[in-house]
Chains A and B, each alone.
Chain A
Amino acid sequence: MRALSEIYNDYFSSTAVYNYREDERIFRTRFMRTWFIILLILVAMVLLGSMVGIGANEYHYFIMNLILINLIAAIGLQLLIGFTGLLSLGHAAFMGVGAYTSALLVTKWGCPFILSILAAGLVAALLGIIVGIPSLRIKGFYLMVATLAFQFVIDYIIIHWDSVTRGIRGIELPTPHVLGISLEKNQSYFVLLFFLTVFLMWGSKNIVRSKIGRAFIAIRDNDVSAEIIGIPIFPYKLLSFSISAFYAGVAGALFAGLLRTAIPENYTFLHSIIFLAMVLVGGLGRLVGTVFGVIFITLVPVLLDLIVSYIANVYDPNFTILLGPLKEFVFGGLIILFIIVEPEGLVGMWVRIRDYFKIWPLPYVSG
Chain B
Amino acid sequence: MIDLLQSVGSGVLVGLVYALLGLCIVIIFKASEAFNFAIGEFLIIGSFLFYTLFFNETIPWHKALQIGVVIFLFFAFILFYDKNLRLRIAFPVGMVTGLLIFCFFFFGLKLSSLITSPLLRFLLAFPLGLLAAGMFGSMVERVTIKPLLGRSPISMTIVTLGLGFLLRACVQLIWGSHSYSFFLDLPDITLEIKDLLFLSDPIWAGILSLIIFGLVIAFLFRTRWGLAIRATSEDQAKAMAFGINARFVLLLVWGISALCIAVAGIMISNFGALSAGMGFVGLRALPVVLIGGMDSIGGALIGGILVGICEALAGAYIEPLGLVGFKEVAPYLLLLLVLFIRPYGFFGTVRIERV
Contact = CB atoms under 8 A, between A and B. Distances in A.
Interface residues of B, number: 45
A328 B166 contact: yes
B343 A142 contact: yes
Contact of B148 (A153, A326, A329, A340): A340
Contacts of B326: 156
A138 B339 contact: yes
A160 B332 CA distance: 16
B336 interface: yes
Given A149-B286, A156-B325, A339 B167 contact: no
Contacts of A273: 161, 165
Contacts, number: 121
A280 B344 CA distance: 27
Contacts of A138: 339, 343
A340 B294 CA distance: 25
A336 B159 contact: yes
Contacts of A276: 158, 161
Interface in A273-331: 273, 276-277, 280, 322, 324-329, 331
A144 B34 CA distance: 12
A325 B162 contact: no
Interface stretch (A94-102, A178-186, A220-228, A247-255): A220-228
Contacts of A327: 169
A222 B169 contact: no
B314 to A, nearest CB: 12
A335 interface: yes
Interface in A316-366: 322, 324-329, 331-336, 339-340, 343
Interface string B339-355: 11001100000000111
B343 A332 contact: no
Q: Tell me the interface secondary structure of chain A in the complex.
A: helix
B324 A160 contact: yes
A199 interface: no
Contacts of B328: 152, 156
Interface of B: 35, 144, 147-148, 151, 153-155, 157-159, 161-170, 172-173, 177, 286-287, 290, 294, 323-326, 328-329, 332-333, 335-336, 339-340, 343-344, 353-355
A-B residue pairs, 9 tightest by C-beta: A335-B162, A332-B166, A332-B165, A329-B169, A328-B169, A325-B172, A149-B332, A325-B169, A138-B343
